[in-house]
Chains A and B, each alone.
Chain A
Amino acid sequence: MVSQMKLSHTAAMILQAIDTGCVYGFSIMEMTGLPSGTVYPAMRRLERDELISSRWERQSIADAEQRPARKYYKLTAAGRVTLEGSRKRYPLLQRMIPSEEAKSL
């Protein structure tokens, strides 16, 4: 069921951004160029649909770097499958947000 889920272009961009290593909200905003009012609600829905999962950074790490702790997001297995489907649906997705492997090539 999850593999057949069709995402909007925005949601697919956010999944792609997370896949490329942008693992917290503001970095996704910077990568996609989308405003906060679009990115965060979209991430809530993706998390609700279990395509991404979140976890809080350990406080000790944040304290060592003298900054507030961040909430990190990562793709779930279902999210990866959906992203593969979305890449086929939106062929320009990888060009807009190239993955790490593509960048290294």
Chain B
Amino acid sequence: MNPPLRLALGGMNRVFLHCASLLVSRDQRVDWRREWSAELWHMRRSCPPSELFSWKAEQAAAAFCLGAFQDAFCVRGIRRENREVAPSQHGSAGECLFWLAGLLALSCILACVLPGVYVESHPAHYQINPGLILLQSDLFTDSSAATITGQQFLDLKASRQRGIDGLAFYRMTKETLSPGLHAKPKWAVAHASFNLFALLGGPESFAAVSSEPSGGLPPVVLSDELWKREFNGNPKVIGNVVRVGRIAARVFGVLPRGSWRLPGRADAWLLQPNTEISRSAVGYVVAHTTRFGQAEMYDDRLHINAFVTDDPDADLWGVSFDERTRGPWTIFRFAVFLAFLALPAITSVSLGESCFSSHRPSLARNLYRWVFLSTKIVLLLSIAYFASLDLSYWNATGYSALSEYAQLASSFFICLFGMRWILLDQRERFPVCLRRVTHPAQVGQASRTFLAWNGTELMCTSGHTLLHVPGLPTSWFGTQRWMYLDTSWKFLFAGTGVG
């Protein structure tokens, strides 16, 4: 026979065996393939020399290799039968971790899919320059209220302040925007100083708008939502002239979703020179604190003496933006701290170590048990972080104190009750096999508490132990106890295939 043809047929036989081996489970595959390869080799050598390279021999070899598929199916079937007989995974440590990991994956996916959560969980999206404060009148306590008039801002800017520099002003109005897809609705427009974005930092291109453009038309920055709703997300709108109320402006750019963390929800920011600022309009003033101002700050607040001409007694407070830009991680850490503080109030933190005999699990088993407990806690904290973000910020478009409170509350409760469940679950897991004890049985009579023990007896389905939980804790039986079963009990659990 032609040697290349013989090689090709030999290769085909090996392909048959390889394909058949894919039907066999991975852990049996190497052994199975080794046996069939050896058998094929011996089969080829068994042919008489005259038939060694003949069509008949090749046909026999191919038929031999095709039989491997039937064998592979058989091995696979036996494997499946064995798996059905194998002890159930119900209540095992693996099952517990599987469900926790599943919950974590779900909350992570939601955090990536929900736009509000995605923005909130990436503080880089809304970071502003450090040392910025919001100036407010001493007479107001609401940190999100507009309290400074345009005149006050101009006076502040003209006067020399030790604690602050780099002031910017903005005020909120409702204006129409044209040409847009929808002519009627009015959008929230912030009339702001040119240097607002330069002061805030953020996107570099916006920071560049700090002086009046040479073109004459003031720049307008659109919010992501407005850009999508009024301009269908068309990137060509950048540079076009639009009319904001009565003012013609050139679209400078689109502010990414979630970037605006300052008070006042704005859909567009019209940047104007300070000479255009209405002196009677009330708005917000953002300022940068000097080194002296930062040293003077107390509890994230800075007191500023407003040496203004018309009202010498109107002092101001500078409130730090740290609260608005700190991100969810700080809140989460605080919630976890509170939950761990509150935990002893709702459950015992004991792991139920006491046992009837002197039997102690090996060091490796003890380590395994602690690793399992630690893994559960890590998974729970991760779930609490992402789930609280999902619940609190699923529809958030910017900073919201309500969302922060929601995150604090949801993180706290998930951590608190999750930790309670983890401790209860750990107490009901046998320290050796980490399976949950089952089949609770009431033992004894409650009326005889002080004569004999009564309570609940639970059993490890692997036949390792019994767990005795007292119905009424007494001085001589205060906490649950494990009773290790020796090998003489094995026959009772023979049906489970374990023990």
B75 to chain A, nearest CB (A): 6
Contact of B179 with A by CB under 8 A? no
Point out the residue from B37, B42, B63, B71 that lies within 8 Å of A40, measured CB to CB: B71
Contact of B43 with A by CB under 8 A? yes
Point out the residue from A30, A35, A45, A68 that lies within 8 Å of B38, measured CB to CB: A68
Point out the residue from B35, B42, B45, B71 that lies within 8 Å of A37, measured CB to CB: B71
State which residues 20-48 of B face A: CB under 8 Å: 34-35, 37-39, 41-43, 45-46
Contact of A48 with B by CB under 8 A? yes
Contact of A44 with B by CB under 8 A? yes
Contact of B74 with A by CB under 8 A? yes
Q: Are A41 and B46 in contact (CB under 8 A)?
A: no
0/1 interface trace, chain B 276-302, chain A, CB 8 Å (1 if under)? 000000000000000000000000000
Q: Are B66 and A26 in contact (CB under 8 A)?
A: no
Q: Are B74 and A45 in contact (CB under 8 A)?
A: yes
Contact of A25 with B by CB under 8 A? yes
Contact of B354 with A by CB under 8 A? no
- Cα distance A40–B67 when bound, in Å? 8
Q: Are B78 and A37 in contact (CB under 8 A)?
A: no
Which interface residue of A25, A30, A69, A70 has the most chain B CB atoms within 10 A? A25
Point out the residue from A25, A35, A48 that lies within 8 Å of B35, measured CB to CB: A25
In the complex, the chain B residue whose C-beta lies closest to that of A71 is B35
* Interface of chain B, main secondary structure: helix
Q: Are A35 and B63 in contact (CB under 8 A)?
A: yes
Contact of A67 with B by CB under 8 A? yes
Chain B residues lying within 8 Å of A45, measured Cβ to Cβ, are 74, 78
A53 to chain B, nearest CB (A): 14
> Given A25-B35, A44-B78, A48-B78, do A70 and B71 touch, yes or no (CB 8 Å)?
no
> Given A26-B39, A48-B78, do A37 and B46 touch, yes or no (CB 8 Å)?
no
A34 to chain B, nearest CB (A): 10
Q: Are A36 and B64 in contact (CB under 8 A)?
A: yes
Chain B residues lying within 8 Å of A24, measured Cβ to Cβ, are 39, 42
State which residues 415-436 of B face A: CB under 8 Å: none
Chain A residues lying within 8 Å of B69, measured Cβ to Cβ, are 37
Chain A residues lying within 8 Å of B34, measured Cβ to Cβ, are 68-69, 71
Chain B residues lying within 8 Å of A68, measured Cβ to Cβ, are 34, 37-38, 41-42
Chain B residues lying within 8 Å of A41, measured Cβ to Cβ, are 70-71, 73-74
Which interface residue of B39, B63, B66, B75 has the most chain A CB atoms within 10 A? B39
- Cα distance A37–B78 when bound, in Å? 16
State which residues 4-36 of A face B: CB under 8 Å: 24-26, 30, 35-36
0/1 interface trace, chain A 39-52, chain B, CB 8 Å (1 if under)? 11100110010000
Contact of B68 with A by CB under 8 A? yes
0/1 interface trace, chain B 42-72, chain A, CB 8 Å (1 if under)? 1101100000000000000001111111110
State which residues 31-88 of A face B: CB under 8 Å: 35-41, 44-45, 48, 67-71
Q: Are A70 and B74 in contact (CB under 8 A)?
A: no
> Given A25-B35, A36-B64, do A67 and B71 touch, yes or no (CB 8 Å)?
no
Chain B residues lying within 8 Å of A37, measured Cβ to Cβ, are 66-71
Chain B residues lying within 8 Å of A30, measured Cβ to Cβ, are 46
B297 to chain A, nearest CB (A): 78
Q: Are B71 and A44 in contact (CB under 8 A)?
A: yes
Q: Are B38 and A70 in contact (CB under 8 A)?
A: yes
- Cα distance A36–B60 when bound, in Å? 10
Chain B residues lying within 8 Å of A25, measured Cβ to Cβ, are 35, 39
- Cα distance A21–B66 when bound, in Å? 26
In the complex, the chain B residue whose C-beta lies closest to that of A25 is B39
B81 to chain A, nearest CB (A): 8
Chain A residues lying within 8 Å of B74, measured Cβ to Cβ, are 40-41, 44-45
- Cα distance A24–B68 when bound, in Å? 15
In the complex, the chain B residue whose C-beta lies closest to that of A54 is B35
Q: Are B38 and A36 in contact (CB under 8 A)?
A: no
In the complex, the chain B residue whose C-beta lies closest to that of A62 is B38
In the complex, the chain A residue whose C-beta lies closest to that of B73 is A41
- Cα distance A38–B46 when bound, in Å? 19
Which interface residue of B64, B65, B71 has the most chain A CB atoms within 10 A? B71
- Cα distance A68–B35 when bound, in Å? 9
- Cα distance A40–B41 when bound, in Å? 16
Chain B residues lying within 8 Å of A69, measured Cβ to Cβ, are 34, 38
> Given A44-B75, A45-B74, A48-B78, do A67 and B42 touch, yes or no (CB 8 Å)?
yes
Q: Are B67 and A26 in contact (CB under 8 A)?
A: no
Chain A residues lying within 8 Å of B64, measured Cβ to Cβ, are 35-36
Chain B residues lying within 8 Å of A44, measured Cβ to Cβ, are 71, 74-75, 78
- Cα distance A84–B225 when bound, in Å? 85
Chain B residues lying within 8 Å of A71, measured Cβ to Cβ, are 34-35, 38
Q: A68-B41, A70-B38 are in contact. List 12 more A-B contacts (CB 8 A).
A: A26-B46, A35-B63, A35-B67, A36-B70, A37-B68, A38-B70, A41-B70, A44-B75, A45-B78, A48-B78, A68-B37, A69-B34
Contact sample, A vs B, 27 pairs, CB 8 Å cutoff = A26-B39, A26-B42, A26-B43, A26-B46, A30-B46, A36-B39, A36-B65, A36-B66, A36-B67, A36-B68, A36-B71, A37-B66, A37-B68, A38-B67, A38-B70, A39-B67, A40-B67, A40-B68, A41-B71, A41-B73, A44-B71, A44-B75, A67-B38, A68-B34, A68-B41, A68-B42, A69-B34
Which A residues are within 8 Å of any B CB, using their own CB? 24-26, 30, 35-41, 44-45, 48, 67-71
Q: When A and B form their complex, which 4 residue pairs have the shortest distance between CB atoms, in order from nearest? A: A36-B67, A37-B67, A41-B74, A37-B70
